[in-house]
């Protein structure tokens, strides 16, 4: 049922950069330089806090000042023993702990649109419920308000392009997810259920930022072959959504391909992932793969 192949168009942009040294860090990135040349005085550019070392490597990989992180707001701050460092940017905070990789701090905050929920990163608390949900127009499903507004725009654009979509499933509570997962386990057994459904407290649907879209008359098994699925793969990023579980990423995301499962991350990050050719949220944000539960 969930074995169809999905092929999307991927724009691959190769970024070439060196690991920042103290001296190189003072120089603006090529992207930052373009911004400075058009709408910022050189003095203001020189006054920006430097981005150095591993933070610089990460920042450039996500398109520097032009990416979702934007400009640095403060210099890097480290603990006295230098076992932990962080740096604030316009679009989030980078953190590093000794023994692990640089990642985006907001990806751990359940209420953030950048939150990463997977088999290794449950919601916190596991029974988390979004403070506000809104019904998506033309459906009986609810999402966080900004995701609902973005989805309505996406669906209007899809319909205008002749590929109308239906909302199948939006927010799911902890209790609902518990029964959904139990049903899959009863049907297919635990091993297969874990490839197609999340355990309660580990589902993106519980954040109110994920939605399953389908075409009238199509099931999950056939959606991947529809023009709608191709349209979604090409255009979702324009509205701040990503196709979260892509083909060939099971070892990173922990799930079989789901061309119908869209996750709202905001336009800046969705566009960045598209431009960088990133195939998973984990990979793009520097977060460890989550092939299974611990």
Residues that bind Zn ion (CB under 5 A): 212, 261
Min dist. Cβ of residue 288 to Zn ion (A) = 22
Nearer to Zn ion, 263 or 274 (CB): 263
| Pick 171 or 261: Cβ nearer Zn ion | 261
Q: Who contacts 288 (Cβ-Cβ below 8 Å, separation ≥6)?
A: 101, 120, 282
Residue 66 DSSP label: G
Shortest Cβ 196–Zn ion spacing (Å): 10
Q: Give the integer Cα–Cα distance in Å for 58 and 67.
A: 11
CB closer to Zn ion out of 71 and 212: 212
Closest-CB residue for Zn ion?
261
How far out from the chain centre does Cα 74 lie?
A: 25
Q: How far apart are CA 144 and CA 202, in angstroms?
A: 17
Min dist. Cβ of residue 168 to Zn ion (A): 8
SS3 282: helix
CB of 278 to Zn ion, least distance (A): 20
Q: How far apart are the first and last CA of the chain?
A: 26
Contact (CB, 8 A) for 13 and 265 = no
Match 């979604």 to its residue by tokens: 232
Question: 212 vs 272, which CB is nearer to Zn ion?
Answer: 212
Give Dmax (Cα) for the chain: 65
CA distance 285 to 121: 14
Choice between 56 and 263, CB closer to Zn ion: 263
Q: Which is nearer to Zn ion, 51 or 270 (CB)?
A: 270
Least separation in angstroms between residue 165's CB and Zn ion is 14
Cα angle value 135/145/223 (rounded, 5°): 60
Least distance between Zn ion and beta carbon 6 (Å): 14
Token digits of residue 190: 């635990």
- The nearest distance, CB 80 to Zn ion, in angstroms, is 44
Give the residue with the Cβ less far from Zn ion, 55 or 255: 255
């Amino acid at each position: 049922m969930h074995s169809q192949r999905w092929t999307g168009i991927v724009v691959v942009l190769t970024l070439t950069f060196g690991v920042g040294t103290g001296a190189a860090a003072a120089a603006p990135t090529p992207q930052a330089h373009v911004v400075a040349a058009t709408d910022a005085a050189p003095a203001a550019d020189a006054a920006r806090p430097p981005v150095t070392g591993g933070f610089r490597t990460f920042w450039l990989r996500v398109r520097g000042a032009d990416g979702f992180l934007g400009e640095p707001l403060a210099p890097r701050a480290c603990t006295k023993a230098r076992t932990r460092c962080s740096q604030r940017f316009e679009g989030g905070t980078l953190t590093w702990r000794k023994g692990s990789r640089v990642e985006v701090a907001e990806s751990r905050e359940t209420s953030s649109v950048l939150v990463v929920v997977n088999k290794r990163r449950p919601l916190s608390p596991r029974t988390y419920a979004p403070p506000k949900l809104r019904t998506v127009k033309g459906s009986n499903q609810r999402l966080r308000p900004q995701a609902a507004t973005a989805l309505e725009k996406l669906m209007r654009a899809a319909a205008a392009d002749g590929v109308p979509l239906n909302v199948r499933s939006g927010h799911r509570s902890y209790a609902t997810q518990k029964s959904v997962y139990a049903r899959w386990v009863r049907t297919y057994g635990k091993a297969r259920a874990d490839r197609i459904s999340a355990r309660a407290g580990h589902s993106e649907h519980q954040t109110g930022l994920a939605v399953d879209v389908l075409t009238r008359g199509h099931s999950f098994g056939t959606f991947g072959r529809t023009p709608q699925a191709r349209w979604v793969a090409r255009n979702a990023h324009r509205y701040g959504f990503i196709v979260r579980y892509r083909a060939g990423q099971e070892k990173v995301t922990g799930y079989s391909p789901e061309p119908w499962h869209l996750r709202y991350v905001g336009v800046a990050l969705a566009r960045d992932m598209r431009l960088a050719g990133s195939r998973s949220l984990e990979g793009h944000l520097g977060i460890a793969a989550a092939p299974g539960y611990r």
